[in-house]
Amino acid sequence: MSPSQLNKLVQSRQQKTRPYLLIIPGIFDIGEHIFRNVSIALISPSINQMLRSSVVVFAALLLVFFLKGKLYRHHWLSIGCIVAGLVFVGLAAKSGKEHSASQIALGICLQLVGQLSGAISYTAEEKLMSDCDELDPTLLIGWEGFWAAAIYMILLPIFQFVPCTNNDICTGRVIEDTYLVFQDYGANYMLILQSLALGTLTLIINIAGVTITKIGSASQRTVVDQMRNLTVWAYFIVVPINGAYLDKFTVMQASGFTILLMGVLVYNEIIVLPCLGFNQYTREKLEQRKVSQKQIKIAYERQVSHDLNYSF
């Protein structure tokens, strides 16, 4: 490689590692949380639970059409199981307060937009990390947090003066009453501690999620992320809150989570189904095919070399 070619390679590598590129997943991450949090106030928990599974489908489609990756039949079966499992869970969940048809429609649209934003954020992270091997998950999360904080510093003062009359999603008759938040902090210091604890846990979750994306893929991250529903459900069944259990065991929810768990295990090839060709395109089988093709190529080249030497 000539010095000029090496210099171009180094320059292109530096362009891929520029921090401003990390604003892309940061923007979509902000969009995900804003749309999801607003939609929670407009739709019942059962609908919310079912719609959350759409992120798996969005991530799979982005993997195929944007990253040019491949999903095989056991992956699509797993995605179907995860969606079906969460539908079971959603149907079994208790509905919250009643909402109007317009509120439900708006909530569904916002939830879907939020899930799509999350899938785009995960896919952008995967693309950036695949282009730059030295991009560490903690560094990625740090820059995303920096850009998110900068964006919120611009948005929050604006939202403070934008009127909002919908009491379901707004407080203080504005979109976001930051002044009221600091008043609440001053009145109850426990809110500060809870906010710090929540921020720390969110940081840990994000680093773990980005690590899964770096090692595996954004699609794998969304699949594993659905297991949070199972752990939350199990926790509230076993652990009482203020002396009362917030959830109870039902056959439909247990069936839904069992189907969801099977989907996660099959997708990550912890369980390999030995029928209907579901075991033909696992990572192990694909690696075996690659090794076999390499051996055939080497044997062919040796044979050609031998024939040429023999002819001379």
Q: Which residue has the tokens 């696992």?
A: 282
302 and 238 in a common domain: no
129 and 161 in a common domain: yes
293 and 198 in a common domain: no
Would you say residue 168 lies in a domain? yes
298 and 181 in a common domain: no
305 and 267 in a common domain: no
Output the pTM of the full model: 0.73
Cα separation, 74 vs 264, whole angstroms? 11
Would you say residue 287 lies in a domain? yes
Total domains in the chain come to 2
Amino acid at 172: G
Q: From the CB of residue 101, how many other CB atoms can be counted at a distance below 10 Å? A: 7
Would you say residue 137 lies in a domain? yes
- Write out pLDDT tens, residues 84-121: 887 777 676 655 556 677 777 888 888 889 989 999 99
296 and 268 in a common domain: no
- Write out pLDDT tens, residues 142-174: 888 888 889 989 988 898 888 887 777 777 788
Domain that holds residue 287: 282-312
147 and 67 in a common domain: yes
Kindly report the average pLDDT of the chain as a whole number: 77
- Write out pLDDT tens, residues 33-88: 889 888 887 877 667 767 777 888 888 888 888 888 887 888 888 888 888 887 77
Would you say residue 11 lies in a domain? no
Would you say residue 113 lies in a domain? yes
- Residue of 109, 54, 96, 67 lying closest to 223 (CA atoms): 54
Q: Which residue has the tokens 């934003």?
A: 117
205 and 159 in a common domain: yes
Would you say residue 3 lies in a domain? no
